[in-house]
Structure 1
Amino acid sequence: MNAPAPSTPKIPEHDPEQVNIDPYSVPLDKLDVSNPYLFEADVQWSWFKRLRDEAPVHFCAESEFGPYWSITRYEDIMTVDTSHKIFSSEPAITIRDQDDDFQLPMFIAMDRPKHDVQRKTVSPTVGADALRYFEPIIRERTRDVLDNLPVGEPFNWVEKVSIELTTRMLATLFDFPYEERSKLTWWSDMTTTLPGQGMVETEDEWKQEMLGCLEYFIGLWNQRAKEPPSNDFISRLVHGEATKDMEPMEYLGNLLLLIVGGNDTTRSTMSSSVLCLDRNPEQFAEMKANPSLIPDMVSETIRWQTPLAHMRRTALEDTELGGQTIHKGDKVVMWYVSGNRDERMFDNPNDYDIHRENLRKHLSFGFGIHRCMGNRLAEMQLHTLWEEILERFDRVEVVGEPERTLSVFVKGYKGLNVILHPKT
């Protein structure tokens, strides 16, 4: 397998000043919620509330990502997410289009039957048998990370805990050289960034980074091809009947899917859980007194945070939704971040409530054939983290405001400064 040399996507130019605009002052037909600066500033909520209330199936004719439909209510999102014969995952699952010369096929952006056979090839890596194997590994690593944190002085939780734990897990899932595991974090962040937003400045630099990722993983592919099959993602792709002959860019697409899926989402909830419990001390006190509430906390954190803000579909035929006619070929964006705050589904949805009756009905894992493959592993990692935190610390105090990710897709954190208070 050899790496091709494709071109790179165009760079959208969003207006950072949009964060200062009142969405109710904007004409409804001009409302555009696709600006990543809204998410970095955490001011997107009123924009989505207006859409939910006034235009739950809303067409934006002009944006940096082209025309698109916004689906913002819970029930409508469920309809789109489970109507696979009407709404296609091809050619992409993000609002951002891929460049014609830089296509990255991946099974989450495929329809049946190809989606099913590729997903089935890799899913045992995070299946029930694998989880039983991973549980003691996750616990041992969590203890190691927590036992080596500074106590009584500020540090960045995202860097020291969330990234470290998820990167260690990724290295295991790929059987990636452990001493080089930081490459996985770098490539994950690179996948979801845009040139000029801090990591690379130009399209050519972005292209070279992606091709460098592919070149490295081609080396691992060739290595696995000489070895007996094992339960890591690369080995399963190499030896899978449906995947062993895939083209390099399809290999890269699936790699990036698995890297981002196993990294960004879990690390976002690890960080968010600290922020939520610090801001809701009465609920933290309840959980400390009754650790059986940890699973409820995990689900509510995943709902409240919504680590992937959206998923995109493409209409396969003319159809009607919410009284609006969506035409064949239209881009349809399911805003999970809005559906998880829909007042029609969740009482007081902006509140963080670990006693919420329907907290497990969140949209964050998706529904239908594309439901998150590693959701149980993500929940296990977060559950284990808080079991071990409660064993060691009286409080994880957040210091200052979090630094959020500049992205319209990955809803996460770059910085969250905390101080650990030991148990007395």
Structure 2
Amino acid sequence: MPSLKTYAVFTYDDVHTVLSGREFTAEHQFRSSRRAVGPSILDVEDPDHRRLRHLVHPPLGLSSVRANRPALRAVIERLLDGLPVDEPVDLMSAVAELLPMQVICHMLGLPASSARWLARTSQPLAAYLDETEKSLVVARACRDALIHYLDEHFFAPPDNPAPLGSRILTAFRDGGLSLREAQENLVMLLVVGTVTTVCGSGNTLACLLSRPEQYARLVDGELSAHDAVAESLRYEPPVHFVPRFCRDDTELAGIPLPRGTAVNVCLASANRDPAMFGSPDDWLPGRTDLQRTFVFGYGRHGCVGGLLGEAEIVELVDAMARRFPGARLHGPPPTSAGWVFRRPETLMVVLEKEAP
């Protein structure tokens, strides 16, 4: 829409150009994330972005994620232990919404008992970023509540041995992070760092349980959890749109874009571009080209916690198949909703320990 200085890109090549090009920036003073929380790793550019990314990357990298697999499994087993069997249960509220927050509590050194309150308090902020909840007043009240919690439970204790928490706290105490910068980035981590995994978990379980024959293949070992998750994240990614802005006057696909123009980048459509993926609207686990997807963004602002989020979902799917081989939907297949963060609102399932 030229009159609004707003455009959207949908093809794989155009999405790649915007996410990788220096002509486009994630930084804008009126971006919704800044209005709700303040500047963070999500929407600052170098040198601040490089500094923040260097700070949080080691505990979220491949070797650390592999080392933390036992901790992920323990969190998942505890969640599944508390689920009722042979009666309907909503896996969104009982599992998907709690799993990533419990993991981030482990990574930051926060009490696991706080996970449900943190998830509930973060939801209005995620809804504001999703543009489904328009109240900035409510979003900022939740931000303030989270900051107050962090002041008591993260900054006040003298020691923090947690893998991610220790790095952030040390950087703050050594002067590498101001208090406000540390607070705002931690809030963004609690919100965006968990909602993507909430959506990915819900979408993946919905994809599998809506296809009983595929879930049976998973239970029988014919389909790997990794392949099921990778295809589900392509087919129904947790994040559909990310915003970018033109640094200067530029051009994309032959269209002139003035400086400051907003460009909404549709990751979901790029992941179904028929020029890149055969039969893109079919759920086909086992594809060999999934390393090219934009599930967790791309380029310098690609999701720094994407590996951890994917590992959580893979472990969850594996545990579900192992513990509940007879799991089935209760009611019609769910549909995902949301502008930015897409997920089923509810996922009603009957968990059975015997295969049908």
TM-score, reference length from structure 2: 0.89
Partner of 2:8: 70
Displacement of 1:385 after TM fit?
Answer: 1.6
The one-letter amino acid paired with 1:61 is S
Displacement of 1:72 after TM fit?
Answer: 0.8
Q: Could you tell me whether the CA contact under 8 Å between 1:365 and 1:375 is conserved in 2? A: yes
Q: Could you tell me whether the CA contact under 8 Å between 2:107 and 2:164 is conserved in 1? A: yes
Partner of 1:61: 3
- Answer yes or no: is 1:176 the counterpart of 2:110: yes
**How far apart in 2 are the matches of 1:402 and 1:243?**
51
Distance 1:202 1:275, change over 3 A: closer
Distance 1:211 1:344, change over 3 A: same
Partner of 1:20: none
- Answer yes or no: is 1:158 the counterpart of 2:158: no
Partner of 1:89: 26
**How far apart in 1 are the matches of 2:341 and 2:126?**
7
- Specify the structure having the higher radius of gyration (Cα): 1
Identity of paired residues, percent?
A: 24
For structure 2, list consecutive stretches of 5 or more residues without a partner in the other structure: none
TM-score, reference length from structure 1: 0.75
Structural RMSD (CA): 2.7
Q: Could you tell me whether the CA contact under 8 Å between 1:287 and 1:294 is conserved in 2? A: yes
Aligned residues: 353
- Answer yes or no: is 1:315 the counterpart of 2:315: no
Q: Could you tell me whether the CA contact under 8 Å between 2:227 and 2:286 is conserved in 1? A: yes
**How far apart in 2 are the matches of 1:187 and 1:106?**
19
1:283 to 184, 206, 214: 214
Partner of 1:246: 178
Partner of 1:50: none
Displacement of 1:167 after TM fit?
Answer: 2.1
| CA deviation vs aligned residue, 1:215-257 (integer Å, no higher than 9, x gap) | 2212344325x33x63444432232279644252x33431232
The one-letter amino acid paired with 1:295 is H
- Answer yes or no: is 1:301 the counterpart of 2:232: yes
**How far apart in 1 are the matches of 2:2 and 2:350?**
43
- Answer yes or no: is 1:211 the counterpart of 2:148: no
Q: Could you tell me whether the CA contact under 8 Å between 1:274 and 1:396 is conserved in 2? A: no
Distance 1:221 1:378, change over 3 A: closer
Displacement of 1:203 after TM fit?
Answer: 4.4
Displacement of 1:263 after TM fit?
Answer: 1.3
Q: Could you tell me whether the CA contact under 8 Å between 2:272 and 2:280 is conserved in 1? A: yes
- Answer yes or no: is 1:131 the counterpart of 2:69: no
**How far apart in 1 are the matches of 2:287 and 2:247?**
37
For structure 1, list consecutive stretches of 5 or more residues without a partner in the other structure: 1-58
- Answer yes or no: is 1:258 the counterpart of 2:189: yes
- Answer yes or no: is 1:373 the counterpart of 2:310: no
Distance 1:361 1:223, change over 3 A: same
Q: Could you tell me whether the CA contact under 8 Å between 2:296 and 2:302 is conserved in 1? A: yes
Q: Could you tell me whether the CA contact under 8 Å between 1:283 and 1:354 is conserved in 2? A: no
Distance 1:395 1:326, change over 3 A: farther
Partner of 1:393: 324
Distance 1:147 1:310, change over 3 A: same
Identify which range, 268-277 or 288-297, moves more after superposition. Answer: 288-297
Q: Could you tell me whether the CA contact under 8 Å between 2:271 and 2:277 is conserved in 1? A: yes
Q: Say which SS state the counterpart of residue 288 (structure 2) adopts.
A: coil
Identify which range, 408-417 or 239-248, moves more after superposition. Answer: 239-248
Partner of 1:15: none
Q: Say which SS state the counterpart of residue 352 (structure 2) adopts.
A: strand
Distance 1:405 1:182, change over 3 A: farther
| CA deviation vs aligned residue, 1:269-312 (integer Å, no higher than 9, x gap) | 22112211122233333333335622111111111121011111
Displacement of 1:410 after TM fit?
Answer: 1.3
Q: Could you tell me whether the CA contact under 8 Å between 2:126 and 2:192 is conserved in 1? A: no
Q: Could you tell me whether the CA contact under 8 Å between 2:12 and 2:273 is conserved in 1? A: yes
Partner of 2:257: 326
